[in-house]
Amino acid sequence: MIDQGKTRVLLLENIHPDAVTRLESEGFLVESLRNALDEDELIARIEGVHLLGIRSKTQVTARVLAAAPQLVGVGAFCIGTDQIDLATASAAGIAAFNAPFSNTRSVVELALAEIIMLARRLPEKNAGMHAGVWDKAANGSHEVRGRTLGIVGYGNIGAQLSVLAENLGMQVYFYDTADKLALGNAKRCDSLNELLEVAETVTLHVDGRPGNSGFFGEEQFARMRPRSLFLNLSRGFVIDYAALRDNLVSGHLAGAGIDVFPNEPKGRGDEFTSELRGLPNVILTPHIGGSTEEAQADIGGFVANKLAQFVTEGNTTLSVNLPAIQLPKATGTHRIAHTHHNTPGVLAQVNSILAEHAVNIEGQLLATRGEYGYLLTDLGAGYTEDVVLQLRAMSQTIRLRELS
């Protein structure tokens, strides 16, 4: 059983103070660091840590997880979880949580702002004014009303962007490999090429699966309409940045807004390098799509709450890797959480052990997800250590936790 007063939490990458407050309210011991840690640095810090909180830069690899035998939960205080080795985490009974909805609005608003700014050539006008150049010419400046937006990736962000862009009077097309319902008057494209041929602005909102690496390159840029705009606020590794620069310099593309990069500095103030620096028709932002005070506060509270509930109640609702269950807690009971390999007869074997020791079951809930199962059981007062030892000794057991 984890003693809540001795539960150690390590938060990296300047996670919002609301997360610290929520975790400390449970009596947890919280250490919060400003920067990300590389693999070796994290391995040196993670021994004895029960809960780990990260954002997008820290990589939770198999080596890291192997160095953390007491780790029970990882919180990604962001949307993506591709920086976590979820297969290894699942095999160790470590639950992972993220914030799939909390910063959706922030990313959408940034995308809309950049679309308008690029359509009006505001980056170039702004640079000219700072250089003392007064240029009121309307050449190349457009309203977004009536223009065509192509959204690649129609998940939470893409779908909300679709609705708000349509409210601005844009014609919206989208492409997604999954079968998604079109919202409003948005039109689904059957292929990426179909979208590229009609869109005057293309914006990427794809996830971090390995198959998306480098999928948008010279061939795709060449298919885009002349003088169109391009945005990437999704993942840094999905586009060919050298090809993007070539198409911007040649004038094939009129402008771009880029928020994510294949290699990003570890901390604030570190030097940022990119072949896109210095181009007057490019908006570069330091991976701030979800970095508004509102979004970070919401993410901090949301993910911290999921981690706290997992430790204290065994609640796995919205876990990205373990079966999702929530069992209401009855008074006067003791709860055990059993993560196991999903094979026939596990529940019968658990209950047989409990019956042999005359332990009454007050509440029980089982869920499975692929090759793993997760069982919460509330026991009547009074069970011996032999019960716990026998449950741990089951061949299917991955991890058994006594919660109360």
Which of the residues are catalytic? 235, 264, 287
Report the C-alpha gap between 204 and 157 in whole angstroms: 10
Rounded Cα distance between 58 and 39, Å, is: 8
Euclidean distance between CA atoms 285 and 248, whole angstroms: 17
The C-alpha atoms of residue 273 and residue 286 are separated, in whole angstroms, by 11
**CA–CA separation, 245 vs 258, rounded Å?**
12
The answer to whether 99 and 298 are in contact (CB under 8 A) is yes
For the record, the structure tokens of 267 come out as 């901390």
Closest-CA residue to 78 (of 54, 108, 59): 54
Q: Residues 74, 54: contact at Cβ < 8 Å?
A: yes
Number of helical (H) and strand (E) elements in the chain, helices listed first: 13, 16
Per the structure block, which two tokens stand in for 67? Answer: 């160095």
Q: With 0-12 CB in 10 A as exposed, 13-18 as middle and 19+ as buried, what is 97?
A: buried
Give the span between the Cα atoms of 303 and 369, in whole angstroms.
Answer: 21
Task: Report helix, strand and coil shares of the chain as percent, to nearest 5.
Answer: 35, 20, 45
Which pair of tokens denotes residue 100? 């799939």
Give the whole-angstrom CA distance, residue 52 versus residue 97: 11
Residue 402 tokens read as: 């006594």
For the stretch 174-200, what's the b/e string if a residue is b when 16 or more beta carbons lie within 10 angstroms of its beta carbon?
Answer: bbbeeebeeeeebeebeebebbbeebb
DSSP state of 6: G
